Amino acid sequence: MATYLVTGASSGIGEGLVRALVARGDRVWGLARRSDRLSELATVLGPERFGFFRCDVARQDEVDAVKGALDHEGIRPEVVILNAGINPERLGGDFSIREFEQVVRVNLLGALTWVDFFLPRFRLAGRGQFVGISSLAAFRGDGRWVGYCASKAALTRAFEALRGRHAAEGVTFTTIHLGAVVTGMGVESRSFFRLERDEAVRRILRAADRRVDSITIPRPLRLAVELMRLIPDRHFSRMVGATFGTAPQRRRSNAGSVELQ
């Protein structure tokens, strides 16, 4: 049995991870903005196996309060799964620096703040693992999601650098590049490779248990994305927009998207 901390635990992939971890006998602590959903989850799973803290990872005051509570209660997870993420952007919308900042604050800084908190503890113990839920969007800019692509690419690069810096200290940084999943932003996906939530959860946990450095789920999509980099951006956007039914409305420019998580 291991102790896990999961961010974004109240729904989607995060909730699926919590349920799967508890089902196999692990102790899990969840963080999310919706305390009512977390409370319902604790009722179902049992408070002795699942505990939670309400926390908006974009709010430093809430993050600091949870960090204090974790220290006060002596909670020491061995694995921290950084899953919280948002994507408010919509195809055809205007670029907004405020929206971009919001996405980066949650998807990137909202993950790295927990690395900042737990890394000294992991280094002192000589063991510990961070699992970052990144995306195929980290590999190829998508016309729909400026902030999302940038934030996931930055998370991937940060984990690469941290992995290199702390490889000899017993700390593992596992990056999961996830494709379309039938939950949250992937519900309307028509990708041939899309996964049901429980299957995605199973693959994420298998990769985490193996302590891999980096993995793409599903694997074939990584090669497809790399090949697509040869296509000019404008033509790429039109092609994948038509393929996946996400062709943009004509506004100032045309942009589209490959099916990414």
| HEC secondary structure over the chain | CCEEEEECCCCHHHHHHHHHHHHCCCEEEEEECCHHHHHHHHHHHCCCCEEEEECCCCCHHHHHHHHHHHHHHCCCCCEEEECCCCCCCCCCCCCCHHHHHHHHHHHHHHHHHHHHHHHHHHHHHCCEEEEEEEEHHHCCCCCCCHHHHHHHHHHHHHHHHHHHHHHHHCEEEEEEEECCECCHHHCCCCCCCCECHHHHHHHHHHHHHCCCCEEEECCHHHHHHHHHCCCCHHHHHHHHHHHCCCCCCCCCCCCCCCCCC
In a domain, 204, yes or no: yes
Q: Per the structure, how many domains does the chain have?
A: 1
CB 101: neighbour CB atoms within 10 A? 13
143 pLDDT tier (thresholds 50, 70, 90) = confident
In a domain, 230, yes or no: yes
In a domain, 248, yes or no: no
In a domain, 252, yes or no: no
pLDDT of 153 reads 97
What average pLDDT does range 15-20 have in this prediction?
A: 98
pLDDT of 91 reads 65
Per-residue pLDDT at 223 exceeds 90: no
* Domain that includes residue 219, residue range: 3-243
In a domain, 249, yes or no: no
In a domain, 255, yes or no: no
**pLDDT tens, residue by residue, 82-131:** 999 999 987 667 899 999 999 999 999 999 999 999 999 999 999 999 99
pLDDT of 57 reads 97
Q: What is the pTM of this model?
A: 0.87
Per-residue pLDDT at 222 exceeds 50: yes
230 or 71: which leads in pLDDT: 71
What average pLDDT does range 250-254 have in this prediction?
A: 31
Per-residue pLDDT at 256 exceeds 60: no
In a domain, 257, yes or no: no
33 pLDDT tier (thresholds 50, 70, 90) = very high
**pLDDT tens, residue by residue, 146-204:** 999 999 999 999 999 999 999 899 999 999 999 877 665 554 555 556 788 999 999 99
In a domain, 211, yes or no: yes
pLDDT of 241 reads 58
**pLDDT tens, residue by residue, 34-90:** 999 999 999 999 999 999 999 999 999 999 999 999 999 999 999 999 999 999 987
261 pLDDT tier (thresholds 50, 70, 90) = very low
pLDDT of 239 reads 65
CATH code (residue 43) = 3.40.50.720
CA-to-CA distance for 169 and 166, rounded, in angstroms?
A: 5
CA-to-CA distance for 126 and 211, rounded, in angstroms?
A: 15
